[in-house]
Amino acid sequence: MRKQFKLASVLLFLLIFSVACSNNQSPDQALDMKETQTASESKEKVKNVELTISAAASLKDAMDVIQQTYQEEHPEVRLKFNYGASGSLQQQISQGAPVDLFFSAAEDKFDLLVEEGVITKGDGMDLLGNSLVLVVPKADRSIKAFEDLAKADVKKISIGTPETVPAGKYAQESLEKIGIWKDVKSKVVYAKDVRQVLSYVGTGNVAAGIVYKTDALVSDKVEIAAAADPATHTPIVYPAGIIKDSKQYEAAKEFYKYLQSNAALKVFEEYGFATK
């Protein structure tokens, strides 16, 4: 009985001592514990972050490379892309689509969101440039210049819908400037974006199409017949910006900064874009 009492006394002493040590930890120890807890909570917050980026269809090939690289460097972030015509994407965002960052192929579509207060002016910038080209099916030598589109034997050509597809708007401006829009308007097959124009040309459904140089370079089914004079259309500028009400604003800002990095700009250059 005495041994049991002695053992119980020892255990009670150890318990009291442990509690006393805990209550008398130094301020530095308490701070270290708090910082560790805060860091752990912060890490938990950035786990499995998903960013939705609405981007012009012409950016897809370059962004595929950037997406892979960025996610390898930031495994806690998942990038989800919504590609399409800049005008359509802008309308979706204006109507409340859940998007974190917008990468447009036209300044006017981007500026509408700035005017609406959807993107703060300080959270956007002109990042890239592009050029406009006339493409024809591979090995087709019948069309060599934009003026050839007005010939009677050219039955169909394709451009993006000017109201929603910036490349289509630039194409119409160029055709108007060189004076053949009235002659070719009835031949035009409108497409939802530049990739659809490429598809129409590549499959031979139309005799020619007008797209960005960057799109023409990644297709093995078309070739460039001519380049548009930059003076015939509005400058082609690609602005990017963070949506003000993004639920993942800080993560979106980090990716936005990455798009401006030398590593990202080098990828864009490799795919034919002009960098600022």
CB-based contact 132:210 (threshold 8 Å): yes
Q: Is 99 annotated as belonging to a binding site?
A: no
Closest CA to 239 of 129, 127, 130, 132: 127
Tell me if 167 is assigned to a ligand binding site. Answer: yes
CB 197 within 8 A of CB 159: yes
Cα separation, 129 vs 231, in Å, equals 14
**58 belongs to an annotated ligand binding site:** yes
Establish whether 26 is an annotated binding residue.
no
Contact, 85 vs 109, CB < 8 A?
A: no
Would you tell me how many other CB atoms lie within 10 Å of the CB of residue 47?
Answer: 9
Is 197 among the annotated ligand-binding positions?
A: no
Annotated binding site: 58, 86, 167, 194, 212
Annotated binding site for molybdate: 58, 86, 167, 194, 212
